[in-house]
Structure 1
Amino acid sequence: MNEVGNITRNDRIYRETLVIIKELWNDFIYGGHLFAFGAICVAFMCSILFAIPITWDFLVIIYLTFYIIYLYDYFNGTEDDEKTNSTRANYFRKNDSKTITYILYGSIISIASIYVLYSDIPNMLIGFAILILGLTYQAYFKGLTKKITAFKNIFVSLVWAILVYVMFIYYSYPITSEAMIISAFVFLRMTGIQILFDIRDIEGDQKKGLRTFPAIYGYRKGLMTLIAINFITVILLIYEAYIGALPYAALMIVPVIFYAQNYLDKVDKSRKDHKSYLFAAGEPFIWFILIFSGSMFFRIVPYIPDIPNIL
């Protein structure tokens, strides 16, 4: 009997653990944490490329800023998600609006506190300007998507691209041509990711009259544009490294074209394959991994001739 009781208890604990893990995973994917984590990866990537010592206060500020923007956007877009992303819509329907409001305000207060304690007023004004820009998209800028083709793609991608400059300003580093190049890289990659999401929502956007690139030019041209962006970003990195504008470690991002092509091929086969969009959203993590690997490789290279002597 004791054995049966132990098995039953262990089985219950196992099921409860799986439920908790699933809830945490859903919160990470659908609650805005995925893109917030991506913003952290961009910051780490810049830290490695430009040898900028990064501190916890900046990381928390960036994480919370992007978390607030995406959580607010997803929460307000619950009805729009019913047809194209029902899983995320269900996630927000299960969450109390008051709780989300408390999270948003708590995060904003946390950001302000960190700026006051660890930074200065000019940086705080810049940081909150970006936050306000992201939060006001739904209310004031979304309507422009019906008038200006690909406005949403450009708007969102600019917020990500500005992140590079924000980091340089926060640590009082002069904004160099290298920073502009990486900012352009981030802009192009995020534009591609946003267009991919628009491919998923193409029918709904057409009904609403939104001038997203796929809604105007079609599914096939949307995919061809993404393939073109892949090649443009790779050529940009190779050329800039060749002329010495970027460190050679930046070339380690080049394999991202194969990663991106993989999820593009899956979307081409089925636009209902939500895992493909998840891989696209996680691309900034791949940038960081590739840059980190590259920096480690180029640190080891000078010592390779000495390895036989050491052995």
Structure 2
Amino acid sequence: MLRDRLPSRRPHQPFLLPSVGSGRLVRLLGARKLKEKLLFKNITISFGWSLIPLLVALYYQRVSLELLLIAPFIFLRLMLNTIFFDVRDLEGDKANGIRTLPVAFGRERSFRAMAVLDLLSSLYLVSLVGLTLLPPYSLILVLLPVYSALYRWLASSERAMIGFLCDFVADGEYVLWGPLIYLGKILF
């Protein structure tokens, strides 16, 4: 039976992770688990999610230059999001020996790193519009770094509802993208 030949895995693990996680790649990286490498989890999650629009476009055979160019912007926004979730999970990650940015450098430095990602995503977007590689209405997406700066500011309070900020506000950013683009088309 095929099931008997598959590596055992926990239900929340991606299908190929057990075989990758136990192979040469892990030994090469010098960690028992890939999660133990600083930023590895953030990069792989962000990269994977940022591929979704490209894969959908490939499926429908509608890949455009604009879509290819916006992928790094999506990646940067997702990196920011995954780091914010690591801030929420700081104590648990520390207790379990998972080396995330907040565990390694603290909450405040992680927030500063997120601000840098905000700046990079904005500069990237403005550059693409300035080079006329993206339409001017794309500039409305520079509101997203303002949005994330706001929820980081809210999270800096001792009484912050970090779970709500992560699960609803930070993840809610992606729901805003469509309406923002629509608004940008109206305004620009």
Call closer, same or farther: CA 1:171–1:162 in 2, change over 3 Å: same
Could you tell me which amino acid in structure 2 is paired with residue 259 of structure 1? Y
Call closer, same or farther: CA 1:138–1:267 in 2, change over 3 Å: farther
d(CA) in 2 for partners of 1:174, 1:163: 12
Q: Cα offset for 1:293?
A: 0.9
Bigger RCO (CA 8 Å, 6+ sep): 1
Residue 26 of structure 2 corresponds to none
SS at match of 2:79: helix
Q: Does 1:294 align with 2:168?
A: no
Could you tell me which amino acid in structure 1 is paired with residue 173 of structure 2? E
Matches within 5 A, 1:32-51: none
d(CA) in 1 for partners of 2:33, 2:186: 46
Residue 172 of structure 1 corresponds to 61
Q: Cα offset for 1:276?
A: 1.4
Q: Does 1:211 align with 2:90?
A: no
Q: Does 1:229 align with 2:117?
A: yes
d(CA) in 1 for partners of 2:153, 2:127: 27
Matches within 5 A, 1:116-127: none
Q: Cα offset for 1:137?
A: 7.1
Q: Cα offset for 1:175?
A: 4.8
d(CA) in 2 for partners of 1:251, 1:210: 37
d(CA) in 2 for partners of 1:241, 1:136: 39
Q: Does 1:201 align with 2:80?
A: no
Call closer, same or farther: CA 1:201–1:268 in 2, change over 3 Å: same
> Cα deviation per residue 1:195-233 (whole Å; 9 max; x = unaligned)?
000001111111211121111111111110111111111
Q: Does 1:274 align with 2:153?
A: no
Matches within 5 A, 1:145-156: 145-146=35-36, 148-156=37-45
Q: Does 1:253 align with 2:132?
A: no
Q: Cα offset for 1:173?
A: 2.6
> Cα deviation per residue 1:22-53 (whole Å; 9 max; x = unaligned)?
xxxxxxxxxxxxxxxxxxxxxxxxxxxxxxxx
Unaligned runs of 5+ in 2: 1-9, 22-31
> Cα deviation per residue 1:61-93 (whole Å; 9 max; x = unaligned)?
xxxxxxxxxxxx9x74xxxxxxxxxxxxxxxxx
Match of 1:263 among 151, 157, 167: 151
- Over the aligned positions, Cα root-mean-square deviation in angstroms equals 2.2
d(CA) in 1 for partners of 2:112, 2:155: 12
TM-score (norm: length of structure 1): 0.50
Say if 1:241 and 1:250, in contact at 8 Å, map to a contact too: yes
Say if 1:237 and 1:250, in contact at 8 Å, map to a contact too: yes
d(CA) in 2 for partners of 1:273, 1:156: 21
Call closer, same or farther: CA 1:136–1:217 in 2, change over 3 Å: farther
Q: Does 1:188 align with 2:76?
A: yes
**Bigger CA radius of gyration:** 1
d(CA) in 2 for partners of 1:180, 1:174: 7
- Identity rate of aligned residues, in percent? 26
> Cα deviation per residue 1:136-192 (whole Å; 9 max; x = unaligned)?
37745592011x21111111111111112112211213452x223211011100110
Matches within 5 A, 1:94-113: none
Q: Does 1:160 align with 2:49?
A: yes
State the aligned residue count: 166
Higher share in helix: 1
Say if 1:165 and 1:175, in contact at 8 Å, map to a contact too: no
